[in-house]
Structure 1
Amino acid sequence: MKFSKYLIPIALTIAVIVSLTLSMVLWTNPANYRSKQSPEQNSQTETMIKPKRYVYTPIQAVYTNNAGKQHILVNQLVNVVSELKRTIRDYQKPKISRYSSGSKETYFKIANQPGSVMLSYPTPVSMKILNLNVGNRFKKFPNYTVNRIILPTNDSTKIYLLNDQGFKVYQVKVSKHSLKALNKVLTMDMRTIPASFKLFNNQPLVYVNTTVQMQPYKYLIDRQSEDYYVSRLLTDDDSQSVNAKRRKNVVIYGDQSSLQLLFNSKTRMGRFSDYRPNKNKKNITSVLTNSYNKLSDLGLSLDNVRFFDYDTQTRTVMYRTFVQGFPIFRTNGFGTISTRTINSSAQRMDFSLDNPEVPIPSKKGYLTLPATEVVLKRLADHGYKRQAIKKIQLGYGWKKDSTSPLLVDLNPDWYVYYKGRWHSYTEMMNQY
């Protein structure tokens, strides 16, 4: 009887020791872990990787009611954009035609028509990428580039596709499409922000018309180890032995041939360089597809990761993590992951080793941010050139939590794309 009293504690102690021993083996030899993963483990990893359509989804929804008043629809208990996107997958016999090009008046007339919803990408995507989000219904369309989808709420026979570049408008006629699901989403309990869609520096921009209250967040972060990425990116059947070199805060792993992985322990950033020959295609569909494949190689959860920007000059694709429908900006303006095709023999991927995973209730109350026009006026009064501002975006700033390395504070702010880089509005104002 006395022995049985200690049986369970002894068994638990042995189990913990065995678990720790196995963990040490995996941590110290990531290559073995990579090669010995079971099909079930690989399957679990792949389930985190969302299909391409999840990553290349619109990031903002603006509703224009029948009276012409506009509101940004904000995620709360439900992802509004995802719900709206589900309503555009049953178009029957769609046909596309050029409706207008170069006319700002026509462009805004279509974009701001009463009784419509506008779904927006941050920068244009190709029709083949958009096609992923409409149930493959647009597969026969020319591969135009577009970044806005206009969904009439009272006309089931047509939708419109817009490209800000050149103020292009395409009309898509459909023989059959139910508006029931779309209008049902609009009756859901959601937060709305008064807005207006108009020109800024000759580019379309969604203005926030009033002060807006946004909730700060505290997140538990997912801190991936360097070994995890070594095993995913450098260790495969074709790779050579992996060597490591350390220089102060930087560790560089290489396979002695064409792959290199660099980690900065101070910034918690990683850079993967691939010097193997690539197809070096410059069309947008190929670049975005190749970028998504690189993104998937990381093996990270993509639940809240979205396409945020594509620079056609450098072929750099930027992705950001979104919280409650708003993007996260780190101190240096960086997002979550970026990929770049440099030339036919070099590709690069920059990524963070820390990413927000689980929200924790914050004791901070809502913060009040000024309207768009107020932000622009204050910046101009502080000496910033209005013409040098290309974009302005509500978002969250990444700040390390002082109480724990596993926590991060996400504070709402305006972010301004000024002279080729994203800056916090608060920091811009504090510089003078």
Structure 2
Amino acid sequence: MQNNRSVQGVMINILLTIAIIVSIVLTALIFISAGSQEAPTQTDQQSQQASELFRPTNYIVNDKSGKQHMVMHTTNAQYKSIHQYLANSRMTNPTQRKATNKQISQLLDKTQTALYHYPDVVPIEYFNSYYSQRVSTHKSFNFNYVVVPLNHSKKAYFVNTQSKTITTVTISKIDTTEAWKVAARLPKALTVNFKVVNGHVMLNYPKEFKLPVYSYLVNHRDPTTYVSALLGTTNQLTQTTENNKKIYTNKYSNQQIIYDPDLETVTFTDNRTTGTLQRSYYNRLNVGFSQINLLQLDLSDTRFYQSRDNGKDITYRTFVEGLPVYYQSKTGAIHMTLDKYGNLTSTYSLNELGVPVPNTQEDVTLPKAADVLAKLQQAGVKSSEYYSIAPGYEWLANKENNVSVNMNPTWMIETPTGWMSVNTFLANRE
């Protein structure tokens, strides 16, 4: 009897153990399943935000007669239509070739096409993410224009006006007839074309044009948001003050944030020498983007704007109606630099555009690009003194109140020291 009871006891213990293990496994599966359904992964979140930051800033429609117009005031429904036609297509078989400025201009002038314009070159990986494409990336390439035919052509093109390369892809599964109907109805306010300036093909404004003045309430981000997201908990930090600036330092990692209330910026510096600078342009952009993603900011009005030194110097800016905004801080909305060891220094503007408010000012008429270039030449400005000119919005404080700002249209010029209005640049030379 004792042997039977002993055997029964062992069997009961084994069965209980199996039951507990099964219960644990089932519980784990339930949580895993629930988590996969309810919460996007960090990779998904990063991909979604990257799509927003690295999407095109302008759409240009080339009509059947050869006229080119920049699309303005696109509604959400129109924008979604533009996006969906390209997202539903398939781009395959990329082949790349070098091209002359003339060949690039001819391609960008191609009739009955839609041009997707980026203010600076972006890697194909970001395009793939945003438009659900799988263009082969075994050899990554960069571009700043996409030419999509809307006339039953089987070829689309990625153009890099800086390296002077054209990557041709086969495009299929796109309803060009319906896409052209949508493109033809888009609000086209600005006449544009392409011109060679300082040795590269540039977007040109051949006629004077009007742009509205916008006003917005301003939201001020809390600098401690950056401190908690990037530096760590309070017990890990020291806080000092120097010339009105607050300096937060992580005692263990030697990472630091400087809050400048005068410029309304925070600057994050990682003083840990890693010894490794990412080699590829795409990976360098991802270093900065990974930090931006940690902050979980509302960047709906912010776009990738400019890269210098093959991704070692990056600027993101606020955009209004497809045009960049200047002077929201000394360095742009977000400015990032990588040193030779791979360490990242980032400056974030604490100001962001909030709710738009009524503005009764008349539209501003801006001169055509040729007149601006002629004005610079007459003032004795050499082409070697600046990189480019571009229309944009200047962030100006509203004199009537201190809670809103005006976005004033103006021509801007990029010099080695940064961007400023053409009028300010010329005034400083006198």
Q: Please state which band the TM-score falls in when normalised by the shorter chain.
A: 0.7 to 0.9
Matched, 1:177 2:174: yes
Partner of 2:93: 95
Counterpart CA distance in 1 for 2:208 and 2:390 is 14
Partner of 2:405: 408
**Could you tell me which of 191, 198, 212 is aligned with 1:215?**
212
Q: CA RMSD in A?
A: 2.7
- Size of the aligned set, in residue pairs, is 388
TM-superposed CA distance for 1:400, in Å, is 2.0
Quickly say closer, same or farther: Cα 1:388–1:182, change in 2 above 3 A. Answer: farther
Quickly say closer, same or farther: Cα 1:191–1:361, change in 2 above 3 A. Answer: farther
Matched, 1:241 2:236: yes
Q: Is the 8 A contact 2:85 2:174 kept in 1?
A: no
**Could you tell me which of 58, 68, 71 is aligned with 1:73?**
71
Letter paired with 1:73: V
TM-superposed CA distance for 1:60, in Å, is 1.8
Matched, 1:328 2:325: yes
Counterpart CA distance in 2 for 1:413 and 1:173 is 40
Quickly say closer, same or farther: Cα 1:93–1:224, change in 2 above 3 A. Answer: closer
Quickly say closer, same or farther: Cα 1:282–1:140, change in 2 above 3 A. Answer: closer
Letter paired with 1:91: S
Counterpart CA distance in 1 for 2:80 and 2:413 is 26
Q: Is the 8 A contact 2:265 2:329 kept in 1?
A: no
**Could you tell me which of 35, 58, 62 is aligned with 1:60?**
58
TM-superposed CA distance for 1:277, in Å, is 5.2
Letter paired with 2:293: S
Query: Mapping of 1:106-185 within 5 angstroms?
Result: 106-140=103-137, 142-185=139-182
Query: Mapping of 1:196-275 within 5 angstroms?
Result: 196-236=193-233, 241-257=236-252, 258-275=254-271
SS of the residue corresponding to residue 303 of structure 1 reads: coil
Partner of 1:352: 349
SS of the residue corresponding to residue 95 of structure 2 reads: strand
Counterpart CA distance in 1 for 2:331 and 2:110 is 35
Counterpart CA distance in 2 for 1:102 and 1:422 is 29
TM-superposed CA distance for 1:55, in Å, is 0.6
Which has the larger displacement, 380-389 or 392-401?
380-389
Indicate the structure (1 or 2) with the bigger Cα radius of gyration: 2
Q: Is the 8 A contact 2:329 2:349 kept in 1?
A: no
- 1:248-291 Cα offsets, whole Å, 9 max, x none, are 32111111132101011111111011234555212111011121
Partner of 2:420: 423
Letter paired with 1:394: P
Quickly say closer, same or farther: Cα 1:296–1:79, change in 2 above 3 A. Answer: farther
Q: Is the 8 A contact 1:268 1:352 kept in 2?
A: yes
**Could you tell me which of 352, 366, 371 is aligned with 1:369?**
366
Letter paired with 1:251: K
Q: Is the 8 A contact 2:284 2:311 kept in 1?
A: no
Letter paired with 1:268: E
**Could you tell me which of 377, 380, 404 is aligned with 1:380?**
377
Letter paired with 1:413: T
Quickly say closer, same or farther: Cα 1:304–1:224, change in 2 above 3 A. Answer: same
TM-score by length of 1: 0.82
TM-superposed CA distance for 1:363, in Å, is 2.0
SS of the residue corresponding to residue 57 of structure 1 reads: coil
Counterpart CA distance in 2 for 1:231 and 1:250 is 18
SS of the residue corresponding to residue 186 of structure 1 reads: helix
Identity of aligned residues (%): 21
Letter paired with 2:397: K
SS of the residue corresponding to residue 379 of structure 1 reads: helix
Which has the larger displacement, 110-119 or 126-135?
126-135
Quickly say closer, same or farther: Cα 1:345–1:102, change in 2 above 3 A. Answer: closer
SS of the residue corresponding to residue 339 of structure 2 reads: strand
TM-superposed CA distance for 1:140, in Å, is 4.7
Partner of 1:391: 388
Counterpart CA distance in 2 for 1:341 and 1:80 is 38
Unaligned regions of 5+ residues in structure 2, if any? 1-37
SS of the residue corresponding to residue 197 of structure 1 reads: strand
SS of the residue corresponding to residue 285 of structure 2 reads: helix
Q: Is the 8 A contact 1:333 1:423 kept in 2?
A: no
Unaligned regions of 5+ residues in structure 1, if any? 1-39
Quickly say closer, same or farther: Cα 1:194–1:128, change in 2 above 3 A. Answer: same
Counterpart CA distance in 2 for 1:52 and 1:314 is 16
Counterpart CA distance in 1 for 2:398 and 2:60 is 33
Matched, 1:339 2:352: no
Letter paired with 2:245: V
Query: Mapping of 1:273-292 within 5 angstroms?
Result: 273-276=269-272, 278=274, 279-292=276-289
Partner of 2:16: none
Which has the larger displacement, 55-64 or 341-350?
341-350
TM-superposed CA distance for 1:219, in Å, is 1.0
TM-superposed CA distance for 1:381, in Å, is 1.1
TM-superposed CA distance for 1:47, in Å, is 8.2
Quickly say closer, same or farther: Cα 1:160–1:194, change in 2 above 3 A. Answer: same
- 1:407-432 Cα offsets, whole Å, 9 max, x none, are 22211111111245212112124344
Quickly say closer, same or farther: Cα 1:134–1:141, change in 2 above 3 A. Answer: farther
Q: Is the 8 A contact 2:91 2:169 kept in 1?
A: no
Partner of 2:49: 51
Counterpart CA distance in 2 for 1:81 and 1:202 is 33
Letter paired with 1:326: L
Counterpart CA distance in 1 for 2:47 and 2:395 is 24
Q: Is the 8 A contact 2:240 2:247 kept in 1?
A: yes
Counterpart CA distance in 2 for 1:49 and 1:157 is 29
